[in-house]
Each structure stands twice: as structure tokens, then as C-alpha cells.
Structure 1
Amino acid sequence: MKTKKRLRPHRLQIFKDIGGRPFAFTAGASFALLLLVWSLLSYTEAVNPVFLPKPHEVLLELIHQLGTATYWHHIGISLFRVTSGFVLACIIGIPIGIFAGTFKFGEAFVEPPMEFIRYMPAVAFIPLIMVWAGIGEWAKILLIFIGCFFQLVLMVADNTRRVSHDLLQASFTLGAGRWKAIETVLIPAIQPQLMNTLRLVLGWAWTYLVVAELVAVNSGLGFAIMKAQRFLNTDQIFVGIIVIGLLGLISDRIFAFLNRRLYPWA
């Protein structure tokens, strides 16, 4: 009697979970592939070493830089600028986004100018920022704020509109007023998706860091990258880029962890 052969699940099924270990292995393999391509191009000198340093040279430079107090100062000041611009955008943008997503009047009043301004590159605001805020720390924070704020408002408004209307109707049926429904139903309902939105916006904040640190600075990771570029120290440029990427990845994982712990049902 023949037994039926058990078929293994296909890895490319739409929306199908592949499990923790296969996911981690695949993620690691993608990084290994990038490293392999980089190694092939650099060790064979298919690309001029001046423009593409070898991986071990970048690793040695990374270890050297992290062993200096100066580089940790660059990291600290960049963290401060990104965090300040991001938090400021959240404090102002989240309430405005909830207002725009909750009320049609708010949508009509808020979203058209937000849609208009969000297509303007944040870099174009640098001359105005220097006029408004000078060339101190506020100028860098304000540029990161501008890069995050308008997108955040629109995304929070969209999160708010996605809340089930049945939940709101149920709260009204139970006697809740308008503001009580917003406080006890609407705001708690958007929190899991809001956490994902904040993860995305924080990623944008990191991408604006180097641009923000072009404005009359003598510290920060962006400054270190620009300084290395003047002397064609591409290994130091790679170190700066990698450190920014690692900091962004760590902050993203913190948000993902908090989302799983605070909202496991989502």
C-alpha cells in the first residue's frame, strides 16, 4: 500500500508565515549576500580602492573610531538631534493627525496644506531655517522636525480613519459622548498601528540627519562623514554610514519590541 508523500509548505505562499528560524536565516543570508558582493568588488579591485574600501579595512576603522571619545561624542550629539526632532514632531503632529482623521472639518482644514508641503524637499528649507533659527542646535532639530512632521500628520490621520465605526457606534449606544468616545475608544484603537507609523517616521528622521548636520556644524556623524569625504577617507565614510544604519536598526527594533509587548493582540 502506497503512502502519500507529505508535501512541504512552499516558502512563497502569499502572506504565509515561514516561522522564526527560516525568517532569521533568510534575513542573515541577505546581509551575507551584500557582504559577498562588496567583497568581490573590493578584493578583486573591480572598483578603485579609493572609492570602495575592503570590508576588513572598514571593520578595523570602525573598531578604531569606537575606541575614541570623539566619535562617541559624534554619536551622542546625533542621537540628541534625531530624538529631539522626532519627539517634537510627535508632540505636535499626533494630536493634529487625530483631529484630521476624526472630523471631516479637521480633514478639510489640515490635510490639503499638509499634502502640499510634504512634497517640498526638507533641504529646500535650510535657508529659511538658518534665518529663523540661526545656525545652532535648533536649526538641525528643526530640519529633522520638518522632514518628519507633515508625513506623520497624514499617516496618523489615516490610522485614525481606519478605526472600526462599529466600535464608535457601540460606545455611543452605551452612553458615551463624543469626547469620551475619542478618549476611551478611538485613541486606544489606533495605538498599535500608531506604533508602526512612528517606526517608519523615526527611520525618516535618521535619513535627514546627515542633511541636518550640513548646517554649520563641528560635531555629529554627518559632520564626521563630510569631513572624511574632503580627504577621500572612504573607509571612515563607510563607518559613519554603518553606524547610522546600526543606530536606526536598534531604534526600529526597540519600537518593534515595545509594540509586541504593549499590544500583543495586534
Structure 2
Amino acid sequence: MISKTKVRNVIGLAAAVGLWQLMAKGGFVNDFMLPSPAEAVQALIELASDGSLWEHLIESLKRVGMGYLIAACVGLPLGFVCGVWKPAADLVRPVIEALRPIPPLAWVPIAILWFGLGDASAYFLVFLGCVFPMFFGAYTAVRSLDMNLVNAAKCLGASRWMLMRDVFIPASLPIVMPNLRLALGWGWMCVVTAELIAAQSGLGYLIQQSRQVFQIQNVVAGMATIGMVGYLMSASLERLERRINAWAPSERH
């Protein structure tokens, strides 16, 4: 059975697209500057038919996946360690707080200088977009943990490894998982930014090339693909989050 929330979501999206189409057909929007949804869909079909859309999409997904994985391998353990061990937090947090406000776009010249044009630069920029939400998710989750759980486990003879595996990590998931989803969204935005400037393939590159030859319908088609794929990734991670955190209290809609 389809929930009322899903129905409202579809109605809202359909209304927005319908208004866009009406404005384009009514002449309120310059169809060269912003093609109608019908033109964007036609361009999307053509790009999918000749295979170029899938080639660029696969490259973008590969880059965001690799950068996200590297960020998870660095940000989550570092956040857990800093949350458990205060001296580590005193050393690491000032560095994190100094780097976190710098937007990934500002790192593009450095990324190109260090890694050149290509995948490595994109991995680096995605890493920067993902690592900070992951770190603070893990750090905040551990710092806000109910110490009664920790003390109870210690009384039962739990070692430090058992505390981390059986107490800290499971109890922190309700906070960590939303931050993983947030990090994925940031990573997806960063990979497109990287491809606009520092890559020779990917959805961002497709948009940039289409802009240069004034194929604005392909630009909009690329943007629509970015939005749809980003939504699907977020929805998939949200579903996984609900499965993993099924035991945790949740907000009812």
C-alpha cells in the first residue's frame, strides 16, 4: 500500500514539473535559456539511446563511490577514536574545525596541482566533501552515548574491543547513519563539481561540454539525471538506515 507521504511527494513533484511546462509553453520562460520538461526528456532519451549518458553516469558513480569509501575508512574510525579518547580529540578537532569551512570548490586548484586532471582529483574532492560529516557523526554519537551502557558492559567484563564492537558502534548508529546519508549527498555534489573542471568524463563533464556547444537541453537532461540518481542513492541509504536502526525510536509521519 502506498503511503500518504509518497502520494504527496509525487503530487508535489508533478505539480512543479507541470508548472515548469506551462511556463515554457506560455512564453514566460525563454525555451533556449531553460528548455521545457518535454525537451529535456527527449534529450535524456537520446543521450540514453546512444549510450553516452550511461558512460558518463558510470564514471561519476565510480568516482563518488571511491571517494566515499576512502572518507568512510578515515572519518568514521577517527571520529570514534576522538569520541572515546579525549587527548586524541584535543589534537584532531582543531585541525578538522579549521579545514571544514573550506568549500571543496576552493580545493580544485590544489587537487589539479597534486593529482592532475582525472579520477584522482575527483576522489580527493569527494573525500573532502564526505569525511567531515562522517567524522562529526561518529564523534557526536560516541560523546552523547549513555554512560550507563558503558558502565554496565564494563561490569560484565567487556574489553575495550568489545566495548567498541558491542556498545559504541551499535548505540551510535542512529546518529551515524543520517550523517552517512548527508555525506553521500555532499559527495555526489562534489563529484559533479570536480567533473565540471578537472575531468574528461562524467555527468559534470557532459554538462560542461553541452554548455559550450549551446545544447542547453542536454545540460538540463544532465542536471535531471544528477537529481534523480542523487534521490535514488539517498532513498536507498535511508531504507538501509531504517532496517539497521529498526530498534531505535523513530518519528512517525
Tell me the TM-score normalised to structure 2 length: 0.92
1:147-162 equivalences under 5 Å are 147-162=129-144
Aligned partner of 1:265 in structure 2 is 247
Contact 1:93–1:149, Cα closer than 8 Å, also in 2: yes
The answer on 1:228 being equivalent to 2:210 is yes
**Which among 112, 120, 127 is matched to residue 109 of structure 2?**
127
Let me know the Cα RMSD of the aligned residues. 1.7
SS in 2 for 1:184: helix
Aligned runs of 1:45-56 on 2, under 5 Å? 45-56=27-38
Structure 2 residue aligned with 1:175: 157
Aligned pairs (5 A) from 1:48-67: 48-67=30-49
Q: Could you tell me how far apart the structure 2 residues matched to 1:104 and 1:158 are?
A: 13
| Superposition deviation, residue 20 in structure 1 | 5.9
Stretches of structure 1 lacking an aligned partner (at least 5 in a row) = 1-18
Q: Following TM superposition, by how much is the alpha carbon of 1:216 offset from its aligned partner in structure 2, in angstroms?
A: 4.0
What secondary structure, in the 3-state scheme, does the structure 2 residue paired with 1:158 have?
helix
State the partner residue of 2:236.
Answer: 254
Question: What is the correspondence of 1:1-266 to structure 2 with a 5 Å cutoff?
Answer: 21-266=3-248
> Per the alignment, in what secondary structure is the counterpart of residue 158 of structure 2?
coil
Relative distance call for 1:229 and 1:67 in structure 2 (3 A) is: same
Residue 103 of structure 1 and its aligned partner are, at CA, apart by 2.1
Distance in 2 of aligned mates of 1:249 and 1:237:
18
Q: 1:206: Cα distance to partner?
A: 0.8
1:224/1:240 contact within 8 Å kept? yes
Task: Please state how far the C-alpha of 1:227 moved relative to its aligned partner.
Answer: 0.9
Once structures 1 and 2 are overlaid, which stretch shifts more, 175-184 or 134-143? 175-184
Which residue pairs with 1:7 in the alignment? none
Counterpart AA for 1:115: E
Which amino acid in 1 is paired with 2:26? T
Distance between the aligned counterparts of 1:148 and 1:21, measured in 2? 32
Amino acid at match of 1:128: I
Are the aligned partners of 2:32 and 2:216 in contact in 1 as well (CA < 8 Å)? yes
CA contact (8 A) 1:118 1:151 kept: no
Which is richer in helix? 2
CA shift digits 1:202-231 (9 cap, x unpaired): 011111122111344321100110111112
Larger CA deviation: 235-244 vs 31-40: 31-40
Q: Which residue of 1 aligns with 2:251?
A: none
Residues 263 and 154 of structure 1: is their aligned pair in 2 closer, same or farther, counting only changes over 3 Å?
closer
Aligned residue-pair number: 248
Q: Take 2:51 and 2:23, find their aligned partners in 1: how far apart are those partners?
A: 33
> TM-score, normalized by length of structure 1?
0.87
Contact 2:207–2:222 (8 Å) recurs in 1: yes
Q: Which amino acid aligns with 1:250?
A: L
Contact map agreement 1:122 1:147 (CA 8 A) in 2: yes
Deviation at 1:178, TM superposition (A): 3.3
Larger radius of gyration: 1
